């Protein structure tokens, strides 16, 4: 049987101002109807470029410099634009990441589906609306008749992604390409969206290409996998063989770096990495002294401009409770994980603990002192400030674009450190850089000249520069590639042991939390739904929501 | 959803009111900021001491400032902007009679401007790097640097003096023609309504050069914004989705790209109008166009302050109204406005 | 969750054990690409780089330098006395003796244009300086603190913007009195909203950025953060605005003097020279109005081009 998609020795180049960039080199694969292929790779691997070439929607500067691509026997490389327009949306379609920005913000979603239907002559002007509503129903949207009139900004991220899927499947194409379709979605929404796509493509016996950086996701939904690095295919096999018997060192590195439900943190690193054995830092038996006690913490935001806000009684006015009466403890030397999906209040909680935000009510006892009521200015000047520091999520956003790496690291030292001379400052910065594994020759670089992992290290160095006792980490590795994440997580573990810090690790990723934390707290809708020893909660969750979160983690299909 | 739209529209209209109040306050302050004795200014250079005192009393200049303000507002409410000392007429009457000339010029220039700038910007954005893109960039760069009065004089020199194709820059209508019977105040339109083709053509010829001058002035910022907005929209994610879904280039360009690009373009129009109403004054001087711009310039020469301030207030009210219309147009296109998300 | 670095980050090929180098190419190629080799922060070397890579900016810098020279040395290097009239030499076309010809009072147009440079630049610079300083302060404070300060300043700015700006300048000069000083004040007032709004927007966007929060954690106070961290990042777009405004301030001043406000004869100033020369256009003596007008245009053009160059100079993201 002939393959639906046949890619042979494909090479794609881009002509840029600095010369020719070889984005894709000698890539070959084939796909049959009804099969699912996963293309896995980290950023810069060329995985997206390959699929953009298949649909010929490359940027103007890109062109095929070698090899061939064919779809259903038709040569894509030499096809006319007129023929490509006939293919796109009709035979091959694509689902992109960031669903809300993938939709026209000022056009009703129903009309956008109609446009696609009418373009490919699947509907006339008269029955287009009805057919569009049918398509909405097929992607499991409730009240499709009403939702037809909605605009993207009125819908949630998951709903928008369903619309994008609806657009892709409206004309019943033979091949669907999904490019990182779950980026920006909560883990439970992610599962719903992936399951929907799997079901629909199976129903229609479609071929699917799933492009992702998440090896676990690919293993859960794909029959065959190819792994790409720097524009080349390093390994190709069916999912089971790839996982159980990886051949190429890069594949092995990737598989090891992907957090799983078993294994230690050291096992995230490549096999031959020389690292000292994990310092076992158990907190002093059970209920030792607490470094942070959170009691009945509440954060309320007034709801704006509805008629009921004019109610005379202030207590009766409706408010939105971002954090609704939570209490927990972080013991000295512990690493506590704070887990939840977007909107659960974990970021608000960490901001309040850091005193970047004022709590509405409740108590925060840090190192014996009540800090919830302290005005922000007083706290900033108190010696407690140096003991409580934070590592931020987005390394790009958290570094001043005009400061060099060393200046960024030195900032807290300049304000709060006791160092007298510039020489002392410089020595300390170099000491910190070495501690976090940041190459000294890069200290004079600006953030835009550093890679993601390097920026993360700068953020960590800055946070530990004043010797904090409690470090709050707000999704510190969420923006990093998985192999970089492995290195950074190990670094964090080592630093904690070496410097004797306690951690509050905020994350949405349960697998990472399992590797790092002693105890875990699960939040939802501003409340704590479950908390306890990490192993306990993750093996035997008491709360159904925790169970839902655990189920949503992709498990390999072949197990 | 529709209900919220109506509320937004009403809200926008209501927002214009405090702006108007602010405008009136500033206009009032300007009238009282004159160094020396305001009454002397309003009475005119040839006034005697008694007439100055009369003016002082009649304008209420002997009262306290807040009282003066109330009198000022009361006068405005009845349409009283004082009297011009050069024409002797009420300023309001002068302004009303001269306004149509300015409006005709401005509207015609705007139509010319949009008619060239929008297609130019769209083409430059859809065909980057080609000659049309370069042309657009040159026009924009030159256009924002050209002083509008200089352009006018250049055009007069080339087309009137050298080539002889343009009529003498002396107003709306050559003296051999009679102005058409007043319907809208726009000579070209009125002449056509009256069936007088010759007068219409003559009026049109007079209108052409000043309108082109003013139009060239506004061409540059509109073309620049159109090009920039189109480029931005065309590189956005939802256009990629539309292309991947196989929509035709016409659909993508007009229904998807241009409509979205219209939003920043409409916002820019507000700024463009601000410059345009100012440039109007200069163009009217160059071409001796009898609109309110040249009225104000003449008034300045003879220190006719009531007339000048009447002019400033009128232009401000006109501008606030234009901005309101622009705001409403924006609201009509963008469904996100008014959403308390 | 979000992996912003994968598609939006312009990461240069840098060797490091993390091995992340080429960012997602589709996004990368459509944006600006940076050079490969890392260099130390060095203003002069960077300046040379900017000038070399963009010839228009180089031309603009040269013209700007020329104008500065003309402004500073003006009266010393004029071939003739700009104010001395000589009816016998009136209305002579451009020649070797008089490069720009003579005007209706026999004065050398070239000398007058040269001398006018000083006045026009002085007006433009002072007006823009005033509006930049006050506008930035007002805008930054209202963007950072918000609340009633923001509302009050917003109202004031909106009221100024409710007038067509040239018309407002006319009104102010008419009200305060016909002098060069008042032209400067009027231009400054009319320009202020641009800076206030821009500063407010730039500060507002960065107010809750990660690095600002980190600065708070590092013990920086509000004003220090605003002055040393936020505002320097807001500077690049404001540099462009300053340059464009300089051009616009010159046009504004010239326009006002064209209609008879501010400058009075016999003071040489580009706008008033065009006005005086206007009535001779219809009889063919084009040089009285053309040369001052052309130089005026050149000056505005220079400042517009300069704006782009300045932005490249100040924005570290352009450094490589």
Percent of chain A, pLDDT > 70?
95
Which DSSP symbol is given to B83?
Answer: B
Q: What is the per-residue pLDDT for B38?
A: 67
Q: Are A44 and C23 in contact (CB under 8 A)?
A: yes
A176 token code pair: 């669907």
The answer to whether A16 contacts C214, with C-beta atoms less than 8 Å apart, is: no
Weakest-pLDDT range from B61-65, B129-133, C26-30, C243-247: C26-30
pLDDT band at B36 (very low <50, low <70, confident <90, very high): low
Q: What is the per-residue pLDDT for B7?
A: 81
Percent of chain A, pLDDT > 90?
43
What is the rounded distance in angstroms from the CA atom of residue B67 to the CA atom of residue C36? 70
A97 token code pair: 């990441």
What is the rounded distance in angstroms from the CA atom of residue B145 to the CA atom of residue A83? 46
A118 token code pair: 């009418």
What is the rounded distance in angstroms from the CA atom of residue B141 to the CA atom of residue B220? 7
pLDDT at C11 over 90: no
B169 token code pair: 């820059």
Whether A151 and chain B come into contact, CB under 8 Å, resolves to yes
Q: What is the per-residue pLDDT for C15?
A: 29
Q: What subunits make at least 3 CB pairs under 8 angstroms with A?
A: B, C
Give the up-direction half-sphere exposure of residue B171: CA atoms within 13 A in the CB hemisphere. 10
Average pLDDT, stretch A431-435?
92
Question: Between A61, A415, A446, which is nearest C218 by CB?
Answer: A415
Q: What is the per-residue pLDDT for C4?
A: 35
pLDDT at A26 over 80: yes
Quick one: which of C165, C193, C189, C159 has its CA closest to B21? C159
What is the rounded distance in angstroms from the CA atom of residue C128 to the CA atom of residue C131? 5
Quick one: which of C215, C231, C211, C217 has its CA closest to C144? C231
Q: Are A516 and A265 in contact (CB under 8 A)?
A: yes
What is the rounded distance in angstroms from the CA atom of residue B79 to the CA atom of residue B75? 6
Q: What is the pLDDT of residues A163-189, one digit of tens each?
A: 999 999 999 999 999 999 988 788 888
Average pLDDT, stretch B242-247?
90
Q: Per residue in A35-49, is it b (16+ CB within 10 Å) or e — as a string?
A: bbbbbbbbbbbbbbb
User: Which one of A400, A453, A509 would you mutate to disrupt binding with C, by most C Cβ within 10 Å of its Cβ?
Assistant: A400
What is the rounded distance in angstroms from the CA atom of residue B288 to the CA atom of residue A289? 88
Terminal-to-terminal C-alpha distance of chain B? 13
Q: Give me the residue label for tokens 């709590």.
A: A359
pLDDT at B42 over 70: no
Q: Are A439 and A356 in contact (CB under 8 A)?
A: no
Q: What is the per-residue pLDDT for A2?
A: 76
The answer to whether A153 contacts B336, with C-beta atoms less than 8 Å apart, is: yes
Give start and end residues of each alpha helix (H) in C88-230.
Answer: 109-145, 147-161, 165-176, 180-206, 210-217, 222-224
B336 Cα to chain A: minimum distance (Å): 7
Q: What is the pLDDT of residues B13-32, one digit of tens each?
A: 888 888 888 999 888 888 77
Number of other residues whose CB lies within 10 A of the CB of residue A422: 10
What is the rounded distance in angstroms from the CA atom of residue A341 to the CA atom of residue C239? 42
A426 token code pair: 């410089």
- Collapse the DSSP code of A212 into the 3-class scheme (helix H, G, I; strand E, B; otherwise coil) and give the result: strand
Which strand ranges, in their side-by-side order, compose the sheet holding A62-71?
Answer: A19-31, A5-16, A62-71, A74-75
Q: What is the pLDDT of residues A41-58, one digit of tens each?
A: 988 888 889 989 999 888
pLDDT at C262 over 90: no
B323 token code pair: 């901005």
pLDDT at A288 over 80: no
Average pLDDT, stretch A23-30?
91
Tell me, letter by letter, the H, E, C secondary structure of A33-63.
Answer: CCCEEEEECCCCCCHHHHHHHHHCCCCCCEE
pLDDT at B85 over 80: no
Q: Are B90 and B192 in contact (CB under 8 A)?
A: no
The answer to whether B260 contacts A106, with C-beta atoms less than 8 Å apart, is: yes
Average pLDDT, stretch A321-349?
91
pLDDT band at A222 (very low <50, low <70, confident <90, very high): very high
Q: How far apart, in Å, are the Cα atoms of A530 and each of A347, A514, A534, A536, C273? A: 17, 15, 11, 11, 81
Q: What is the pLDDT of residues B303-330, one digit of tens each?
A: 788 888 889 999 999 999 999 999 888 8
B:302-331 residues touching chain C, CB 8 A cutoff: 305, 308-309, 311-312, 315-316, 319-320, 323
Q: What is the pLDDT of residues A518-538, one digit of tens each?
A: 999 999 999 999 999 988 898
What is the rounded distance in angstroms from the CA atom of residue C113 to the CA atom of residue C295? 8
Q: Which residues of C touch B167 (CB under 8 A)?
A: none
pLDDT band at C305 (very low <50, low <70, confident <90, very high): confident
Task: Give the contacts of A298 (CB within 8 A, at least 6 positions apart).
Answer: A321, A323, A324, A325, A359, A360, A361, A362
C74 token code pair: 């003006």
The sign one gets for the Cα dihedral B208, B210, B215, B220 is positive
What is the rounded distance in angstroms from the CA atom of residue A237 to the CA atom of residue B112? 64
Which DSSP symbol is given to A107?
Answer: S
C113 Cα to chain B: minimum distance (Å): 15
Q: How far apart, in Å, are the Cα atoms of C166 and each of A426, B92, B282, C117, C251? A: 54, 21, 10, 22, 10
Q: Are B248 and A119 in contact (CB under 8 A)?
A: yes
Q: What is the pLDDT of residues B102-115, one digit of tens each?
A: 999 999 999 999 99
What is the rounded distance in angstroms from the CA atom of residue C285 to the CA atom of residue C102? 10
Whether A423 and chain B come into contact, CB under 8 Å, resolves to no
Radius of gyration of chain A (CA): 26
Give me chain A's average pLDDT, please.
87
For residue A103, the chain B residue with the least C-alpha distance is: B238
Q: Are C249 and C191 in contact (CB under 8 A)?
A: yes
Q: What is the pLDDT of residues B145-168, one digit of tens each?
A: 889 999 999 898 888 888 887 787
What is the rounded distance in angstroms from the CA atom of residue A170 to the CA atom of residue A167? 5
* ipTM confidence score: 0.87
Q: How far apart, in Å, are the Cα atoms of A118 and each of A122, A125, A138, B182? A: 6, 7, 18, 51
A445 token code pair: 């670089």
Average pLDDT, stretch B35-56?
72
Q: What is the pLDDT of residues B154-208, one digit of tens each?
A: 898 888 888 887 787 777 777 777 777 777 778 888 888 778 888 888 888 888 9
For residue A393, the chain C residue with the least C-alpha distance is: C210
Q: Are B255 and B85 in contact (CB under 8 A)?
A: no
User: Which one of A56, A97, A102 would you mutate to disrupt binding with B, by most B Cβ within 10 Å of its Cβ?
Assistant: A102
Quick one: which of C51, C196, C77, C219 has its CA closest to C131? C196
Quick one: which of A44, A449, A445 has its CA closest to A231? A44
User: Which one of B274, B283, B301, B311 would you mutate to disrupt binding with C, by most C Cβ within 10 Å of its Cβ?
Assistant: B274
What is the rounded distance in angstroms from the CA atom of residue A299 to the CA atom of residue A320? 8
pLDDT at A72 over 60: yes
Q: Give the residues across from A301 on adjacent strands.
A: A320
Q: What is the pLDDT of residues B266-309, one digit of tens each?
A: 988 988 999 999 999 999 999 989 999 999 998 888 878 888 88
Q: How far apart, in Å, are the Cα atoms of C104 and each of A287, A517, C278? A: 98, 89, 11
Q: Are A27 and A10 in contact (CB under 8 A)?
A: yes
Helix axes B259-286, B197-234, angle to 10 degrees: 140
A249 vs B44, residue with greater confidence: A249
Query: Which of A421-425, B129-133, B292-296 tops mean pLDDT?
Result: B292-296
Average pLDDT, stretch A330-346?
90
A285 vs B137, residue with greater confidence: B137
Q: Give the residues across from A5 on adjacent strands.
A: A31, A71
Q: Per residue in C255-267, is it b (16+ CB within 10 Å) or e — as a string?
A: bbbbbbbbbeeeb
- The pTM score is 0.83
Weakest-pLDDT range from A201-215, B10-24, C77-91: C77-91
The answer to whether A415 contacts C219, with C-beta atoms less than 8 Å apart, is: yes
Average pLDDT, stretch C109-125?
90
Q: What is the per-residue pLDDT for A350?
A: 92
Question: Whats the size of chain C, residue-wise?
Answer: 320
pLDDT band at A281 (very low <50, low <70, confident <90, very high): low
B255 vs C46, residue with greater confidence: B255
Q: How far apart, in Å, are the Cα atoms of A274 and each of A266, A270, A271, A457, C196? A: 10, 9, 9, 20, 56
pLDDT at A19 over 80: yes
Average pLDDT, stretch A437-452?
90
pLDDT at A111 over 80: yes
Helix axes B259-286, B305-333, angle to 10 degrees: 160
pLDDT band at B3 (very low <50, low <70, confident <90, very high): low
Weakest-pLDDT range from A525-539, B80-94, B117-131, B252-266: B80-94
Average pLDDT, stretch B214-243?
91
Q: What is the pLDDT of residues C16-48, one digit of tens each?
A: 333 222 233 323 332 322 332 333 445 677 777
Question: Whats the size of chain B, residue-wise?
Answer: 341
The answer to whether A93 contacts B245, with C-beta atoms less than 8 Å apart, is: yes
pLDDT at A207 over 90: yes
Domain C42-318 -> CATH class: mainly alpha
Q: What is the pLDDT of residues A362-403, one digit of tens each?
A: 999 998 888 888 887 788 878 888 899 999 988 888 999 889
pLDDT band at C3 (very low <50, low <70, confident <90, very high): very low
pLDDT at A416 over 60: yes
Radius of gyration of chain B (CA): 24
Q: What is the pLDDT of residues C273-304, one digit of tens each?
A: 998 888 888 787 888 888 899 999 999 999 98
């Amino acid at each position: 049987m002939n393959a639906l998609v046949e890619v042979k020795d494909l090479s794609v180049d881009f002509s840029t101002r600095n010369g020719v960039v070889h984005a894709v080199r000698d890539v070959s694969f084939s796909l049959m109807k009804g099969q699912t292929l996963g293309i896995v790779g980290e950023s810069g691997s060329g995985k997206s470029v390959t699929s953009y070439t298949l649909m010929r929607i490359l940027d103007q500067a890109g062109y095929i410099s070698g090899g061939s691509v064919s779809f259903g026997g038709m040569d894509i490389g030499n096809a006319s634009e007129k023929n490509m327009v006939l293919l796109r949306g009709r035979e091959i379609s694509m689902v992109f990441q960031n669903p809300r920005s993938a939709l026209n913000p000022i056009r009703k979603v129903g009309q956008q589906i109609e446009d696609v239907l009418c373009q490919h002559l699947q509907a006339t002007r008269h029955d287009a609306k009805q057919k569009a509503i049918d398509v909405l129903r097929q992607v499991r949207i409730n009240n499709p008749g009403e939702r037809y009139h909605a605009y993207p900004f009125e819908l949630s991220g998951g709903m928008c992604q369903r619309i994008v899927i609806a657009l892709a499947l409206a004309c019943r194409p033979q091949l669907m390409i999904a490019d990182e379709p779950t980026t920006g979605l909560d883990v439970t929404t992610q599962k719903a969206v992936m399951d929907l796509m799997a079901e629909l493509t199976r129903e229609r016996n479609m071929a699917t290409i799933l492009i992702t950086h998440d090896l676990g996701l690919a293993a859960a939904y794909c029959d065959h996998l190819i792994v790409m690095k720097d524009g080349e295919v390093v390994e190709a096999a069916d999912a089971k063989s790839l996982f159980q018997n990886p051949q190429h060192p890069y594949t092995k590195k990737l598989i090891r770096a992907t957090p799983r439900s078993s294994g230690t943190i050291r096992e995230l690193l490549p096999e031959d990495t020389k690292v000292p054995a994990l310092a076992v830092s158990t907190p002093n038996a059970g209920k030792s002294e607490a470094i942070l006690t959170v009691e009945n913490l509440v954060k309320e935001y007034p709801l704006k401009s509805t008629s009921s806000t004019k109610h005379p009684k202030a207590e009766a006015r409706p408010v939105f409770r971002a954090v609704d009466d939570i209490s927990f403890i972080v013991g000295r030397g512990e690493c506590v994980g704070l887990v939840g999906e977007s909107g659960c209040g974990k970021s608000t909680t960490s901001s309040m603990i850091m005193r970047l935000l004022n709590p509405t009510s409740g108590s925060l006892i840090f190192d014996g002192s009540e800090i919830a009521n302290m005005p922000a200015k007083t706290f900033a000047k108190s010696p407690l400030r140096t003991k409580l520091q934070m590592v931020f999520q987005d390394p790009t956003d958290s570094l001043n674009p005009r400061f060099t790496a060393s200046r960024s690291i030195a900032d807290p030292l300049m304000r709060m450190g006791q160092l007298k001379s510039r020489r002392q400052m410089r020595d300390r910065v170099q000491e910190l850089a070495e501690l976090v594994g940041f190459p000294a020759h890069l200290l004079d670089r600006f953030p835009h000249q550093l890679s993601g992992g390097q920026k993360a290290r700068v953020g960590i160095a800055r946070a530990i520069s004043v010797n904090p006792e409690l470090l709050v980490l707000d999704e510190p590795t969420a923006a990093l590639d998985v192999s970089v994440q492995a290195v950074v997580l190990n670094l964090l573990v080592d630093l904690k042991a070496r410097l004797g810090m306690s951690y509050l690790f905020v994350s949405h990723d349960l697998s990472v939390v399992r590797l790092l934390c002693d105890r875990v707290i699960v939040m939802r809708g501003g409340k704590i739904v479950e908390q306890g020893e990490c192993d306990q909660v993750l093996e035997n969750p008491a709360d159904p929501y925790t169970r839902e979160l655990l189920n949503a983690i992709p498990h390999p299909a072949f197990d | 959803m529709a209900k919220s739209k109506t509320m937004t529209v009403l809200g926008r209209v209501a927002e214009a009111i405090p702006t108007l109040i602010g405008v009136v306050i500033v206009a009032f302050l300007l009238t009282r900021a004159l160094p020396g004795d305001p009454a002397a200014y309003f009475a005119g250079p040839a006034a005697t001491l008694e007439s100055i005192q009369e003016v002082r009393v009649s304008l209420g200049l002997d009262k306290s400032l807040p009282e003066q303000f109330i009198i000022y507002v009361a006068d405005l409410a009845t349409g009283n902007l004082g009297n011009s000392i050069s024409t002797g007429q009420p300023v309001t009457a002068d302004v009303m009679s001269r306004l149509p000339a300015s409006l005709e010029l401005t509207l015609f220039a705007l139509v010319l401007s949009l008619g060239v700038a929008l297609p130019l910007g769209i083409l430059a954005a859809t065909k980057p790097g080609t000659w049309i893109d370069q042309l657009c960039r040159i026009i924009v760069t030159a256009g924002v640097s050209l002083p509008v009065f200089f352009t006018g004089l250049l055009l007069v020199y080339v087309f009137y003096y050298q080539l002889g194709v343009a009529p003498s820059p002396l107003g709306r209508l050559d003296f051999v023609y009679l102005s058409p019977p007043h319907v809208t105040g726009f000579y070209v339109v009125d002449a056509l309504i009256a069936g007088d083709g010759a007068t219409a053509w003559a009026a049109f010829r007079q209108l052409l050069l000043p309108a082109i001058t003013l139009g060239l002035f506004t061409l540059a910022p509109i073309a620049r914004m159109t090009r920039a907005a189109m480029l931005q929209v065309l590189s956005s994610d939802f256009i990629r989705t539309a292309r991947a879904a196989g929509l035709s280039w016409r659909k993508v360009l007009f229904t998807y790209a241009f409509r979205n690009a219209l939003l920043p373009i409409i916002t820019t129009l507000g700024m463009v109008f601000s410059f345009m109403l100012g440039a109007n004054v200069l163009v009217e001087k160059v071409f001796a166009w009898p609109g309110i711009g040249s009225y104000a310039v003449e008034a300045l020469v003879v220190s006719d302050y009531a007339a000048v301030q009447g002019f400033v207030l009128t232009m401000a009210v006109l501008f606030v109204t234009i901005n309101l219309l622009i705001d409403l147009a924006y609201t009509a296109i963008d469904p996100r406005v008014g959403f308390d998300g | 969750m979000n992996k912003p670095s994968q598609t939006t980050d312009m990461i240069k090929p840098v060797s490091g054990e993390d091995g992340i180098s080429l960012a997602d190419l589709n996004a990368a190629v459509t944006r600006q690409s940076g050079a490969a080799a890392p260099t130390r922060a060095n203003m002069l070397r960077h300046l040379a780089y900017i000038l070399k890579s963009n010839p228009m900016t180089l031309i603009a810098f040269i013209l700007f330098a020329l104008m500065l020279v003309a402004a500073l040395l003006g009266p010393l290097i004029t071939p003739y006395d700009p104010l001395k009239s000589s009816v016998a030499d009136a209305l002579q076309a451009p020649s070797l003796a008089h490069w720009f010809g003579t005007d209706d009072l026999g004065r050398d147009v070239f000398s007058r244009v040269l001398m006018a440079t000083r006045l026009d630049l002085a007006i433009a610079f002072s007006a823009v300086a005033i509006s930049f300083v006050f506008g930035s302060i007002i805008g930054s404070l209202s963007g950072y603190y918000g609340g009633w300060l923001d509302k009050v300043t917003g109202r004031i700015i909106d009221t100024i913007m409710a007038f067509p700006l040239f018309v407002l300048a006319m009104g102010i000069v008419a009200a305060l009195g016909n002098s060069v000083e008042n032209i400067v004040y009027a231009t400054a007032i009319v320009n202020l909203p641009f800076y206030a709004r821009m500063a407010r927007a730039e500060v507002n966007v960065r107010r809750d950025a990660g690095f600002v929060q980190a600065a708070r954690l590092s013990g920086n106070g509000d004003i220090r953060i605003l002055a040393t961290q936020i505002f320097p990042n807001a500077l690049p777009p404001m540099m462009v605005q300053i340059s464009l405004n300089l051009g616009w301030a010159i046009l504004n001043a010239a326009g006002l003097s064209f209609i008879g406000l501010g400058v009075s004869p016999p003071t040489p100033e580009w706008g008033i020279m065009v006005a005086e020369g206007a009535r001779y256009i219809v009889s063919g003596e084009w040089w009285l109005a053309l040369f001052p007008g052309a130089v005026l245009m050149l000056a505005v053009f220079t400042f517009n081009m300069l704006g782009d160059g300045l932005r490249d100079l100040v924005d570290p993201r352009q450094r490589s």
